[in-house]
Amino acid sequence: MSDGMVEEVVEIHCRQSRMWGILSRPSGQVPPAPVAVLIVVGGPQYRVGSHRQFVLLARALAAAGFAALRFDCRGMGDSEGEKLTFEAIEPDIDAAIEALLTACPGAQRVAIWGLCDAASAALMHATVDARVTALVIANPWARSPASLAAVRVRHYYLRRIVQRDFWVKLLSGGLRWRESLQAFFGAVGERRRAGRGAADGSPDGSFQGAMARGLARFRGPVLLILSGDDLTAREFLECAASSREWRGLLARPNVRRFDLPESDHTFSRRDWQVHLQAETVSFLRRLSGVDVARGVEQRTRA
């Protein structure tokens, strides 16, 4: 117990496997909110996260009044079973929601918080769960050959040709210009082929399409957090701008966008984490109607 919150180990049963999580909950000093938060961990990492970001996030949420469970999906960290792709963790999310609500009987609703492909998994799977009433999705993963090609053309090649070191390298003979041209025209060609495919009106069976359909059917509030210095975030925006299924979804009134212009993918600097935590707490307070006076900035230490 420390700093307005307590932590405990939670055992989660998912089919024939046991998953393990850490629940951070408000202590008796802070009134618990009716919304509990499930932190879904994406990528090849476990419940601590890069730079201990999920530990710090969960503790900040708990100290502000929101119980938060961070857990290892099957095959990751301390959890049993075979490692799965983000497209196949629906049973893991479902079991973790059940465990969270069991451990927090006063909670009436669940908000899902996910980074990268965990955000994608939340859009694909959690939007059909009536227990989930809000989503926080940070830098969602939407990579495809088309989005990667478009981002390379826009944000790498076009920016590169106005940089002084590019011309110095070219004029000094240090640049393999033939290979660079081949890569550039390859990216342009891939982008054009993808544009023709997106315009043919065919059904989208990709995971990006499943994400779009999940967001389209979800009526609860959504907080979209995007890092400015992150290829994944740029690819997501490219996907949302170029796909018919994504058209207009990010402009819906239930979607709130929050940008951290200088941040990297995992919010590695302390001040970025503080902003991220504060925005999440503010979003959850509006959702739950909870007015907790204490600030989140004082509770970001490990």
Rounded Cα distance, 34 and 110, in Å: 9
Rounded Cα distance, 281 and 290, in Å: 10
Per-residue exposure over 132-159, b if at least 16 CB sit within 10 Å of its own CB, e if not: bbbbbbbbbbbbbebbbbbbbbeeeeee
Domain boundaries, the chain: 5-144+206-299, 146-198
Rounded Cα distance, 297 and 123, in Å: 29
φ, ψ (nearest 5 deg) of residue 35? -110, 125
Residue 105 identity? P
Task: Give the residue ranges of DSSP H helices in the chain.
Answer: 53-63, 90-103, 117-125, 145-151, 158-160, 164-171, 177-198, 207-217, 231-242, 270-288
Whole-structure pTM value: 0.81
**Which strands sit side by side in the sheet containing 255-260, from one edge to the other?**
5-14, 17-26, 68-71, 35-40, 109-115, 132-138, 222-227, 255-260
Rounded Cα distance, 174 and 167, in Å: 10
Contact 302, 246 (CB under 8 A): no
> pLDDT tens-digit profile of 182-233?
554 454 455 555 554 444 434 467 999 999 999 999 999 999 999 999 999 9
Rounded Cα distance, 277 and 140, in Å: 17
Share of the chain above pLDDT 90, in %: 66
User: Count H helices, E strands: the chain?
Assistant: 10, 8
Contact 47, 56 (CB under 8 A): no
Rounded Cα distance, 64 and 59, in Å: 9
> pLDDT tens-digit profile of 26-64?
987 777 899 999 999 988 889 999 999 999 999 999 999
Q: Rounded to the nearest 5 degrees, what angle is found at the Cα of 116, between the Cα atoms of 72 and 55?
A: 45
> pLDDT tens-digit profile of 121-145?
999 999 999 999 999 999 999 987 6
Q: What is the pLDDT of residue 94?
A: 97
Mean pLDDT of 262-279: 97
The yes/no answer on whether domain 5-144+206-299 falls in CATH 3.40.50.1820 is yes
